[in-house]
Structure 1
Amino acid sequence: MLPNVIVSLYFLALQLRHCAADLCNWTGSGFAAGVDSRIVLQVRLRCTEGSVRWVYPGQALRVVLEPNLSSSLRTTVCIKPSPSFRGASVFIERAGELELLVTDGERPQRVFCFRADGPHRPAIYLHARPQSDGHWSRRAMGFRYELLGNRSAAPNSGHSGLQTSCRPCNDTELLMAICNSDFVVRGYIKNISHNSESQTSSVEVSAARVYWQRSGVFEREAAPGASWHGSIHALLQCHVKPGDGEFLFTGSEHFGEAWLGCAPRYKDFLSVYQTARAARRNSCDFPLD
């Protein structure tokens, strides 16, 4: 059950102060709560990903996500608290009720996801712990957020988040992956490391060709003609193993990290793609060289 003080803050707040923000990100101060403890700062963000940074956090902050696209395309919200996040509890607001997501005192090192179905815009509610000495100290807390579509997976997520599938992709899924993935890279596996604490594996890749990527996950080495390199994450439960030969890596990007999707051997992909193209069943054109 939620503490009575939080319920009172949320439902009985006499003032709801709206804070200026750009379309994707917000940075602001909680000083206003020091003037009137009934104030709940409200921020509205209109992108599918961005960040929130709350300096001198005081009392409560409500972040409403209002992306300028059909809500049916984005049914899962994921947040990743900053490393300095402490001194506050995080709630999600659904159907006029608050559900605890992160407990005060917890130092979360993972991504938290929740479903955002329904007619109401998803909202994230932060309740800051009062300063014990009555003085304001320069502390900051925040999180990054992403709204995911139906095809996206939310790896390493808690609560009701989706989980990355570990099974191999069939031909249809592979042909869709080269069209819809956040990154498509051809290369070799250099090393695989496992982390039991985060329950993830990291695949170090040396890439001969980066067809596309949404951000700068894969970087080119400084030497002329050098290959690309980067790391791709997977769930530990998928038991990713090293393999020889050239692979085609696809997947999604979340919070600046690449997560593994379909990863066939390149020669196997070529066979599938060329067969589909001959039958005019390929979902999109892919550069062959």
Structure 2
Amino acid sequence: MDINLVKCCQLFCMMLVLLLQVNLSTQLQCEQCDCIISGNNEDRGVHMTTLTCTEGGITWYNPNGALSLELRPERPGNYRTCYKVDSGDVKILISREGELNVNSKSPDQRSKFLMNDHNLQTISITEGKSHEICVEAMNSVVLYLEPEYKENIGYQKILFQYDSAKIPEHEEPSIEDCRPCSEDEILKAYCSSDFVVVGSMNDVQHKDEIEKTHIIVDVSQIIRQTGSHFNRLRRDSPYLQGTIVAPRKCGIAKGDGTFLMTGRVRLGDLTMGCAPYIDEWETIVTKAELEGRLQCTRD
């Protein structure tokens, strides 16, 4: 065989091995808007991805380097994007593109992270579980996730969940969040919500530090749910129990009676949607069925 041909084959094989090693060292896989990053402790590169869904998440195994994440919903507009992070024992800096806010961090603190030469504005520095943090942007926002570099950190995982909602142009968000639902909105919520349950309020806890209200509910009937958020605390209990979250500004108080409770799963929490009294719901749904306005099967 020709010597030059043998050398070319050897060179090609070496290049192929190197390419395979690069591909295996770091992988970014996205299915719709949920992504998985897997790598090793020595990889300090910058991963880049763009997500167009209004909600999703990143699971980052053996986090190192940095992630440039553009959240760009398909419909243009002014969006409020909120996120939560669970970084375990890893400290993670989250920034966004924009003018650098020099008062938000000290040089010593910033030098611990990787991308200290970018024109970024710090949003949060988290170790462990964060509360919900929100930013507003027109059309899209670019976030940078930078775990602090540590040698020999062992197995670690970062969970990042986000939710983007379009800000109403003519209606104050506080009004939108707290006003009672119309009959049509109740019917739509029944057919399309992530959870639809029948239950009562066990307790109401106001969390002023995170501007949320936690509603502990006793559930007697699950009509529909995504995931398993309602659980039986005792074997002999006739109820399942779960926690539904609402804005603190709505001033929700504990009420007696039985409700049809609807809502969606947002950033891992159950968020309250429409919640009419059960007798009010029976009147609304019976009327809608007679008029052919119910867009799904009544369970």
Q: Distance in 1 between matches of 2:42 and 2:143?
A: 20
Match of 1:31 in 2: 42
1:103 partner letter: S
Deviations 1:232-260 (A, max 9, x none): 11122111111111101111112332111
2:40 partner letter: S
Q: Which structure: larger Rg?
A: 2
- Measured after TM superposition, the shift of residue 221 of structure 1 is 5.4
- Please, what TM-score do these two structures have when normalized by structure 1? 0.68
- Measured after TM superposition, the shift of residue 101 of structure 1 is 5.2
Q: Distance in 1 between matches of 2:298 and 2:244?
A: 22
Q: Distance in 1 between matches of 2:133 and 2:204?
A: 25
Gap regions ≥5 residues in structure 2: 1-24, 99-117, 168-172
Find 2:121's aligned residue among 92, 100, 106.
Answer: 100
Percent of pairs with identical residues: 23
Find 2:74's aligned residue among 57, 71, 75.
Answer: 71
Q: Secondary structure at 2:29's aligned position in 1? A: coil
Are 2:211 and 1:195 equivalent residues in the alignment?
no
1:139-154 matches, within 5 Å, as: 140=156, 142-148=158-164
Are 2:211 and 1:205 equivalent residues in the alignment?
no
Does the Cα contact within 8 Å between 2:246 and 2:272 map onto a contact in 1? yes
Q: Distance in 2 between matches of 1:260 and 1:226?
A: 23
- Measured after TM superposition, the shift of residue 115 of structure 1 is 5.6
1:169 partner letter: C
Q: Distance in 1 between matches of 2:49 and 2:42?
A: 15
Are 2:27 and 1:19 equivalent residues in the alignment?
yes
Deviations 1:53-86 (A, max 9, x none): 253524x2224569xxx82399665421115375
Gap regions ≥5 residues in structure 1: 1-16, 34-38, 152-161
Q: Secondary structure at 1:82's aligned position in 2? A: strand
Find 2:290's aligned residue among 272, 275, 278.
Answer: 278
Find 1:53's aligned residue among 47, 60, 68.
Answer: 60
Q: Distance in 1 between matches of 2:292 and 2:127?
A: 53
Q: Distance in 1 between matches of 2:87 and 2:67?
A: 19
Q: Distance in 2 between matches of 1:137 and 1:225?
A: 44
Question: 1:108–1:209: structure 2 CA closer, same or farther, 3 Å change rule?
Answer: closer
Of Structure 1 and Structure 2, the greater helix share is in 2
Q: Secondary structure at 2:43's aligned position in 1? A: helix
Question: 1:221–1:84: structure 2 CA closer, same or farther, 3 Å change rule?
Answer: closer
Match of 1:169 in 2: 181
Match of 2:93 in 1: 89
Number of residue-to-residue matches in the alignment: 246
Does the Cα contact within 8 Å between 1:188 and 1:207 map onto a contact in 2? yes
